[in-house]
Amino acid sequence: MDESLDRKNLIVMKLLHYFITEKNYNPIILQGAEDEIWLENLENDYKIIRIVSNHIHNEEQLDFDLYKARHVIKKIKKKTFSLKMNALSIFTDLGDNVDLADTGDIDCIYLYDEKDINKYDFLYQYFPDINKKLKFSEEGLQLFIKITNDINHKNKADAQRVEEVFKPKKNVVTIGLIAINVLVFIFMTLFGQYDNMINKYAVYGPFVVNYHEYYRLITGTFLHANIFHLIFNCYALYIIGTQIENFMGKWKYLVIYFVSALTGSLLSIILNDAASVGASGAIFGLMGSLLYFGYHYRVYLGSVLKSQIIPLIIINLFIGFASGGSIDNFAHIGGLIGGCLATVAVGVKYKSTKFEMINGCIVLLLLIAFLFFMAFKYTG
């Protein structure tokens, strides 16, 4: 290898080591992207880091390079539902007449070696330890072996985390919830208890507020109007519930389900005069949970969010509004919001911070308190 190639390989390897092992960036696989490496971390201020080892001869080649980069960034924004995506392009081989002073919406720097970091003070605002972390005691082959091993170890650990979250698990909670709904319906119909159960346990605002029958806010979500209502909700619960149980875990799933049932029932008694039954408010909460989870793992579920989850929510809400009142869409909306906030509160594994979870708990408690206040103020 010539000196230039050794020098470029060295700075590229050091940068990869820093951004992957220290700042949790992940490589992006792009077809046709030669002599450049793309990294992403959607939780960082710079969501995209681009390391370019190709020789940029002149301003025209730089403009074309950045034009292609903007096109790729635009596609990544759509896939990851990002409104804004700050990007940093790090060039390692520039011609003497190439000026990086005005490159528009992509920040650009030129690093001949790690010492050039000191030319860009703004980097320390985002990566305050970068100068120190690019220095190694190892040299030559030992340095390459260390960097390669560290990167491989980090990528392996990340892959194991993702596998742990997404691998199929036993869905005992979902099956249990379905079984309760089915058994309650069988008891109602076969033993002539339909009217009695509806009168005693359905979600109905005046009885909740005036007689303090708060249990109705939950019991009503296990009652169903007819066999078709039951089958539809149980099928939806099986499809969506198994996903949330897999992704979030059993206890978090239960919290999300019952919080969604509660917030759905509360919004229903505020805005709906009639009695309400059915698990659909809680199921919409699971949709909200899946939406929040999918946003955090949008690198893996971005296309699913766009093509399945969001359309499913929109279509079902539209059907509810078009039903002329036969479907309690207020319970759906309340459950959707409650499920999303409950997921913020319990946290997404390997993604949520304690700060986010505490804020989620506070907002969720405020929402529930507000819904109770509105229920007692306007229902009776």
pLDDT-derived band of residue 380, with 50, 70 and 90 as boundaries? low
Q: Specify which residues 106 forms β-bridges with.
A: 87
- The CATH class, in words, for 169-378 is mainly alpha
Is 309's pLDDT higher than 80?
A: yes
Distance CA 299, CA 370 (A): 35
How confident is the model over 201-242, as pLDDT tens digits? Answer: 999 999 999 999 999 999 999 999 999 999 999 999 999 999
pLDDT-derived band of residue 78, with 50, 70 and 90 as boundaries? confident
The pTM (predicted TM-score) of the whole model is 0.88
The end-to-end CA distance of the chain, in Å, is 83
Query: Do strands 36-40 and 26-28 pair parallel, antiparallel, or not at all (unpaired)?
Result: antiparallel
Distance CA 13, CA 147 (A): 7
**Among 17, 224, 296, 332, which one carries the catalytic annotation?**
332
Q: Is 280 one of the catalytic residues?
A: yes
How confident is the model over 332-346, as pLDDT tens digits? Answer: 999 999 999 999 999
**Among 260, 268, 276, 280, which one carries the catalytic annotation?**
280
Across the beta sheet with 48-52, the strand order is: 26-28, 36-40, 48-52, 87-91, 106-110
Q: Which residue has the higher pLDDT, 341 or 308?
A: 341
Question: Which of 234, 283, 249, 269 has its CA nearest to residue 352?
Answer: 249
Number of neighbouring beta carbons within 10 Å of residue 280: 26
How confident is the model over 350-367, as pLDDT tens digits? Answer: 999 999 999 999 999 999
Distance CA 129, CA 134 (A): 9
pLDDT (0 to 100) of residue 4 = 46
How confident is the prediction for the chain on average, in pLDDT?
92
Q: Is 303 one of the catalytic residues?
A: no
Is 271's pLDDT higher than 70?
A: yes
